[in-house]
Structure 1
Amino acid sequence: QMPRGALALVIHSVEIPQGAYWGKKICEAAVGALSRLDYVGIVEFGWQGGVDWTFPMQLKGDGSAAQAAINQLTFGDMPDFDPSLELALAGLLATDAGQRHVIVVSDGDPNLSTSVLKKFQKNNVSISAIGVNPHSAGDVRTLERMAKFTKGKFYEVKTNNLAQLPQIFIKEAQTVKRTLIQEGEIQPVMVQGIDTLRGIGAVPPLMGYVVAAEREGLAQVTLRGKENDPIGAQWQYGLGRTVTFTSDATTRWGRAWVGWGQYGQFWEQIVRWAMRPSGSPNVRVTTEARDEKTLVVVEAVDNEGRRLPTASFQGRMATPDGEGAPVNLRQVGPGRFEALIDTPDSGTYVMSMRYTAPSAVEGGPMIEGSVQAAVVKPFADEFRALQDNAALLTQVAEITGGRVLDADPLAADLWSRDGLTMPVSTRAIWLPVAIVGIGLFLTDVAVRRVRLDVVKAYYAMRRGLQHSKQQAGMQIEGLQAARAQAQERMAGAATASQDSDITRGTGQAAPVPQQTAKRKFEASEEQVRAGKSKKVALGGEAETPEQAKRRKAQSTPPAGEEEQGMSRLLKAKQRARDEMKDD
Structure 2
Amino acid sequence: MGLEVKFPLLLLLLIPVLYLVFLYVRKNKKREFWLVAGLRTAIFTLLILALAIPQILLPVKGEKVIFLMDRSDSVRNGDNVALDWIEKSVKGKDKEDAFSIVTMGKDAFLEQALGKQKLSVTEFNTKVDGSETDIESGIQFAASILPKDSGGRIILLSDGNETIGNSKEGAKLLKNRKIELDSVLMERAIQEDMSITDLEVPPSMYKGEEAQISLTIDSNSSKSAKVRISVNNQDVLTENVAVKEGKNVYRFSYKVEETGMTVFKGEIATDHDTFIENNSMYSVSDVKGTPKVLVVQGKESGQIDAILEGTGLLVDVIVPEKLPTVLSGYLQYQSIIFNNVPGTVITENQMNLIERAVKEFGTGFVMAGGDESFGLGGYFKTPIERLLPVDMDIKGKKEMPSLGLMIVLDRSGSMMGGKLELAKEAAARSVELLREEDTLGFIAFDDRPWVIVETGPLKDKKKTVEEILSITPGGGTEIYSSLEMAYQELEDLKLQRKHIILLTDGQSATSSSYEDLIAAGKEKNITLSTVSIGSDADRGLLEDLALWGSGRFYDVIDASVIPSILSRETVMATRTYIEDNPFFPVMVENPDWSFLAEGGVPQMNAYIATTPKSRAAVPFMSEKEDPVLAEWQYGMGHTIAFTSDFSGKWSGDWARWEKWPAFVSHLVTRTLPQYETEPYRVSLDKNEGNTIVSLEAANGGGHTLPLETAVVSENGEQIATNTKLVAPGKYELSIPDSSGMYFLNVKQTDQTGNVHVYQTGFTVPYSEEYLLKRANKDLLKELVGLTGGKELSVEKDSFRPTASKNYLKQPISQWLILLAFLLFFVEITIRRFGMGRLFGWLIRKQVEPTGGTSRVERLPVREKAVVKTETVGEANAAGSVNTPVESKTKVKRPKPVEKTLTAEEKEERMRRLLEARKRKN
Same fold (TM > 0.5): no
TM-score (structure 1 length as normaliser): 0.31
Whose strand proportion is higher, 1 or 2? Answer: 2
Whose helix proportion is higher, 1 or 2? Answer: 1
Q: Which has the higher contact order (CA 8 A, sep 6+)?
A: 2
TM-score (structure 2 length as normaliser): 0.21
